Amino acid sequence: MKAEIITIGDEILNGQIVDTNSAWIAQQFAPIQIAVKQISSIADTASAIVDALQQAEERADIIVITGGLGPTKDDVTKHTAATYFNTGLVRDPQVLLHVQEIFSRSRTGDMPDINKQQADVLANAHVLFNDVGTAPGMFVRQNGKYYFFLPGVPYEMKFLIEHRVLPILRDLSPSTFVYNAHLITVGIGESHLARQIEDIENAMPAFVKLAYLPKLGMVRLRFTAVGTDHSLLKAETDRLASLVATRLGSYVVAQEDISFQEVIVRRFSEKGLRLATAESCTGGNIAAELTAIAGASQMFQGGVVAYANQVKVDVLQVDVATLQTFGAVSEAVVRQMAEGAKRTFDTDYAIATSGVAGPGGGSPEKPVGMVCIAISGKTETIVQTYQFKNDRAINIQRATIAALTMLWNLFQKEESDPVE
């Protein structure tokens, strides 16, 4: 079945907030064979909502609308939907009691009259009770289409999707299945990758499509098959993904839809390996990306943001003479930073970075974007200098990915040639 997601809110259109709801909803729909064909963000106006609903009806079987369910005048979704479905609004007593109970637990215990409107629901709708908020969801089935109206607050929307919407959708029997397989590659550019697997891609059956999804330092490959025989789709798609993985060899770091950072956390945890970081120009970004992964505590010991030279000396035991001779942005210094972090945190591996992230601080000898990275492993320390040419944020992100790639490569090397 095909779905469309409509997010309502001027705050999305003017850039005050980013629409993360749609991506999350699409991720929940994929395992139950519901393909999202369109995502739209629209203004909080009646005309925009009507136009979006009319267009969605033509494209999709399932239409999910988030936002605009609040009690204030700028939230017009319910009244517009009532007109659209040629129905009215009724006050649901169970929802009203729930809203009153929530306000009774507040600091003042007082509920403004305007909030009673949150108990108003479409007369033709099935109420999707919202245990974690005041705005209920609504489910309408009309002319063979399924409409779900949900609040835009992310944690409320997620509760309703998981506990109210998915149970309804799981009961639907799809006539068409969608199956995805994934490969995560690191260290090879999109065009070089495509060239290496061109013959495999050209020979793929028409029901399988390959998408290249590049990010800094990595390319995600998504194989998508659509058809009526789920077993056939899975078997053929997995076969093709395996064929590509074999061709690409060590460039493939995972055969599932996860991040590179999650791959590192998993593998280090499985091997019982510990990691530390000593960051200067990346300002703790490497540590932040790793510790954002659940389970990172099994492998990440700690990190130092050694921005000042004195911190490099006092905490990481970098030689003052080395700093004076080569400067903070040098391979000699990051080598000592990595080895010092490894000693300090008693780890198997350590990452160190030092560079000129920009926009200022560069010189002819050490221009903006110059970054030195060192990885200290079980048997050796490797060091490399990069010259990035982007703005500060991109330079930091490129340095982060480069450091993780160097870490991964050294880890792979030492795993294949273990110390006796």
Q: What is the pLDDT of residues 68-93, one digit of tens each?
A: 888 877 789 999 999 999 999 999 99
User: What is the pLDDT at residue 264?
Assistant: 98
Q: Is the pLDDT of residue 7 over 90?
A: yes
In angstroms, the CA 273 to CA 253 distance is 17
In angstroms, the CA 377 to CA 229 distance is 48
Q: Is the pLDDT of residue 419 over 70?
A: no
Whole-angstrom CA distances from 359 to 34, 104, 312, 396 are 45, 52, 23, 12
Q: Is the pLDDT of residue 187 over 70?
A: yes
In sequence order, the β-bridge partners of residue 182 are 222
Q: Sorting pLDDT into bands at 50, 70 and 90, what band is 106?
A: confident
Q: Is the pLDDT of residue 200 over 60?
A: yes
Average pLDDT over every residue of 261-281: 98
- Nearest CA-CA partner of 12 in 3, 23, 26: 23
Which residues are within 8 A (CB) of 413 and not within 5 positions of it... i.e. 6 or more apart?
none
Q: CA geometry: angle at 326 spanning 320 and 329, to 5°?
A: 100
Q: What is the pLDDT of residues 15-65, one digit of tens each?
A: 999 999 999 999 999 888 898 999 999 999 999 999 999 999 999 999 999
Q: Which two tokens stand for residue 356?
A: 């000129």
What are the φ/ψ torsions at residue 220 (nearest 5 degrees)?
A: -95, 130
User: What is the pLDDT at residue 388?
Assistant: 93
Q: Name the burial class of residue 408, with classes exposed (0-12), middle (13-18) and buried (19+) by CB atoms within 10 angstroms of its CB.
A: buried
User: What is the pLDDT at residue 205?
Assistant: 96
- Nearest CA-CA partner of 354 in 288, 407, 399, 398: 399
User: What is the pLDDT at residue 413?
Assistant: 95
Average pLDDT over every residue of 243-256: 96
Q: Which helix (H) or strand (E) holds 291?
A: helix 285-291
Q: What is the pLDDT of residues 59-69, one digit of tens each?
A: 999 999 999 88
Q: Sorting pLDDT into bands at 50, 70 and 90, what band is 102?
A: confident
Average pLDDT over every residue of 241-258: 96
User: What is the pLDDT at residue 103?
Assistant: 86
Domains and CATH numbers, the chain: 2-170 (3.40.980.10), 177-254 (3.30.70.2860), 262-416 (3.90.950.20)
Contact present, 7 and 53 (Cβ < 8 Å): no
Q: How do beta strands 145-150 and 62-66 pair?
A: parallel
Q: What is the pLDDT of residues 323-378, one digit of tens each?
A: 999 999 999 999 999 999 999 999 999 999 999 999 999 899 999 999 999 999 99
Q: Name the burial class of residue 298, with classes exposed (0-12), middle (13-18) and buried (19+) by CB atoms within 10 angstroms of its CB.
A: middle
Q: Name the burial class of residue 125, with classes exposed (0-12), middle (13-18) and buried (19+) by CB atoms within 10 angstroms of its CB.
A: buried
Average pLDDT over every residue of 206-228: 93
Q: What is the pLDDT of residues 130-182, one digit of tens each?
A: 999 989 999 999 999 999 999 999 999 999 999 999 999 988 866 778 889 99
Q: Sorting pLDDT into bands at 50, 70 and 90, what band is 418?
A: low
Q: What is the pLDDT of residues 390-416, one digit of tens each?
A: 799 999 999 999 999 999 999 999 998
Average pLDDT over every residue of 115-120: 88
What are the φ/ψ torsions at residue 381 (nearest 5 degrees)?
A: -120, 125
Q: What percentage of the chain exceeds 70 in pLDDT? A: 98
Average pLDDT over every residue of 197-203: 97
- Nearest CA-CA partner of 269 in 290, 255, 287: 290
In sequence order, the β-bridge partners of residue 226 are 178
Instruction: Please state the pTM of the whole predicted model.
Output: 0.77
DSSP 163: I
Average pLDDT over every residue of 293-313: 97
Q: What percentage of the chain exceeds 90 in pLDDT? A: 83
User: What is the pLDDT at residue 275?
Assistant: 98
Average pLDDT over all residues of the chain:
94
User: What is the pLDDT at residue 192?
Assistant: 95
- Per residue in 41-79, is it b (16+ CB within 10 Å) or e — as a string? bbbbeeebbeebbeebbeebbbbbbbbbbbbeeebbbbb
Q: Is the pLDDT of residue 305 over 90?
A: yes
Q: How do beta strands 177-186 and 89-91 pair?
A: unpaired
